[in-house]
Structures are given as structure tokens and as C-alpha cells.
């Protein structure tokens, strides 16, 4: 009985910690979307539609990206080793480098854009692509934060897990949202100019920009892992917050500018 009671108590604590991590990961993006919705004055998106996009980002895009990333990592690294002989002692570093700087940005941003297929009917104005892109990105980041926060909680306790979620909610969440917002601008422009159809070639420049931004963020955030704990890599890491929030503010201003370009006939 003592053993079973101990296991039950441990399980209840573990489930409680997981629920706390999920709640800590979910509350910030839910609040962020209220703020993002306020960027528009005319024809604001319904919160329920934005939360639907967030749910798509948190489920479909995350699991789709996980599958594609696993396959892409294996193929990309395998082809690289076929072309260039990599010493065994360098293979782990090369795998980390390609995964962080190539595979993750390319796969994740491409997959997040496919989430628009569930909400194309909601995109009525050019700025809508940016707003829904933010929602999809926040959803993707939400699930990532749960995963990383839960891993940290298991290793270092609940407090450290919550601390990691807080940091990621302030940086990684806005990176994912801003990057997908840029790609979403391409989707909405193509959708509106082609009367309901999206052309990949028209979206590609915007998607490339989002991939590049994601790769730069990963480079800065992983610089110490890739190149060692030096003063230079420390300075690179310190550039993360200014970069993320500079891009975010530019996106906010541009969304508001697009919203003011057309006459405001109906309120949202």
C-alpha cells in the first residue's frame, strides 16, 4: 500500500506540475491576441476566429512540423555526409548546426504557413494575413513552450520550468508570431489580388523573409551552444530582445497603416 500511495502521490504532483506549465504557457498568447486584435480599428477580427487560428497553430502545425523536421533532418544530414566526409567527433556539432540554422527555420515557417488553409475564408483585408499569422505563430509557440517548460520542470523543478516558459513567452513567442505574420502578409496579398486563390510564387519572398528572420533568431539564441561560451556569443545573445521587439513594432505599425488605407465603413 505504501508503494502504491507513493506512486499515486508522485503522479498527482507530476500532473499538477504539467497543468501549471500548460496554464503558464497558454495565458500569455491568449492575452497577446487581445492586444494584436486592437491593432485594427476597422473590421477587427473576431476573437473566436483568432483563437481558432491559435488552436490550429498549437496542434496541426506543431505535429506536422515535428514529422517533417524528423524526416528532413535525417535526409539533409545524410546527404551532407555523402558529399563531405565528416569526422565522427564533429557529427554531433554538425547535426546541431544544421537542425538549428537550416531545418528548424525552413520547416517550421513553411508548415506554419500551411495553417492558413483552415482560415482563408476569414482573410478579407491585406492586414488580416498579418493578424492571423500572429495567431498561428503564438499557437505554435504555445505548444513549444509547454514541451520545453515541462522538460525543464522534470529536470530542475516546477519553478525553473515556469521561469523558462516566462522567458520563451517574452521572446520565442513573439519570434514565431512575427515571422508567421510576415509570411501571412504574402498570403493575404496573393489571396486578395487573385480573388481567393493563393499563388506560391507570390508568397515565396515573404516566406523567405520569415525563414531568414527565424534562422537569425536561432543563430543568436544558440550562439553559445554552437560556438562556445565566449564574450562574443554573450553579446550576440543580448541582441535577441531588441531584434524581436524592433520587428514586432514595425509589424504593428504597418498593420495599422494598412488598416487606415481603406475607408472605415463598419466597426468590429
- As a whole number of angstroms, the distance between CA 213 and CA 194 comes to 27
Please state, in angstroms and rounded to a whole number, the distance separating the CA atoms of residues 134 and 120. Answer: 14
Please say if the pLDDT value at position 62 is more than 70.
Answer: yes
Helix-strand-coil split of the chain, %, nearest 5: 85, 0, 15
Total number of residues shown for the chain: 268
pLDDT greater than 70 at residue 38:
yes
Q: Is the pLDDT of residue 1 over 50?
A: no
pLDDT at 8: 44
Average pLDDT, the chain: 85
- All 3 cell numbers of residue 167? 522567458
The pTM score is 0.87
Q: What is the mean pLDDT of residues 73-92?
A: 61
Lowest mean per-residue pLDDT among 2-16, 217-231, 250-264: 2-16
**Spacing of C-alpha 49 from chain mean position:** 18
* Separation in Å, CA 122 to CA 17, 119, 137, 138, 178: 37, 5, 17, 18, 19
- Quick: pLDDT tens for 161-219: 999 999 999 989 999 999 999 999 999 999 999 988 899 999 999 999 999 999 999 88
**End-to-end CA, the chain:** 60
Q: How confident is the model at residue 248 (pLDDT cuts 50, 70, 90)?
A: very high
The more confident residue out of 254 and 232 is: 254
Quick: pLDDT tens for 19-28. 999 999 999 9
Provide the 3-class DSSP secondary structure of residue 243.
Answer: helix
The predicted structure's pLDDT at residue 241: 84
Rounded distance between C-alpha atoms, residue 206 and residue 268, angstroms: 27
pLDDT above 50 for 5: no
Q: At what angle do helices 172-193 and 240-261 cross, to 10 degrees?
A: 30
The C-alpha cell of 234 is what? 554573450
Query: What pLDDT score does 165 carry?
Result: 95
Pairwise CA distance, residues 34 & 67, whole Å: 31
Amino acid at each position: 500500500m505504501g508503494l502504491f500511495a507513493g506512486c499515486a502521490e508522485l503522479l498527482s504532483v507530476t500532473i499538477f506540475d504539467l497543468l501549471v506549465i500548460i496554464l503558464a504557457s497558454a495565458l500569455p498568447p491568449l492575452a497577446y491576441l487581445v492586444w494584436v486584435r486592437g491593432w485594427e480599428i476597422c473590421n477587427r477580427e473576431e476573437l473566436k476566429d483568432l483563437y481558432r487560428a491559435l488552436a490550429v497553430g498549437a496542434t496541426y502545425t506543431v505535429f506536422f512540423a515535428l514529422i517533417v523536421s524528423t524526416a528532413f533532418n535525417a535526409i539533409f544530414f545524410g546527404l551532407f555526409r555523402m558529399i563531405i566526409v565528416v569526422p565522427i567527433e564533429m557529427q554531433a556539432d554538425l547535426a546541431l548546426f544544421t537542425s538549428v540554422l537550416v531545418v528548424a527555420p525552413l520547416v517550421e515557417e513553411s508548415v506554419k504557413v500551411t495553417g492558413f488553409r483552415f482560415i482563408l475564408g476569414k482573410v478579407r483585408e491585406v492586414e488580416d494575413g498579418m493578424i492571423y499569422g500572429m495567431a498561428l505563430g503564438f499557437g505554435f509557440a504555445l505548444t513549444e513552450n509547454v514541451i520545453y517548460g515541462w522538460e525543464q520542470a522534470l529536470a530542475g523543478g516546477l519553478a525553473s520550468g515556469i521561469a523558462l516558459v516566462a522567458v520563451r513567452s517574452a521572446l520565442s513567442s513573439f519570434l514565431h508570431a512575427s515571422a508567421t505574420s510576415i509570411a501571412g502578409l504574402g498570403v493575404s496579398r496573393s489571396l486578395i489580388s487573385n480573388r481567393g486563390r493563393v499563388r506560391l510564387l507570390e508568397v515565396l519572398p515573404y516566406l523567405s523573409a520569415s525563414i531568414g528572420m527565424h534562422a537569425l533568431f536561432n543563430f543568436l539564441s544558440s550562439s553559445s551552444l554552437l560556438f562556445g561560451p565566449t564574450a562574443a556569443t554573450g553579446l550576440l545573445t543580448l541582441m535577441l530582445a531588441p531584434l524581436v521587439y524592433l520587428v514586432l513594432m514595425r509589424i504593428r505599425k504597418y498593420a495599422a497603416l494598412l488598416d487606415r488605407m481603406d475607408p472605415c465603413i463598419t466597426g468590429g
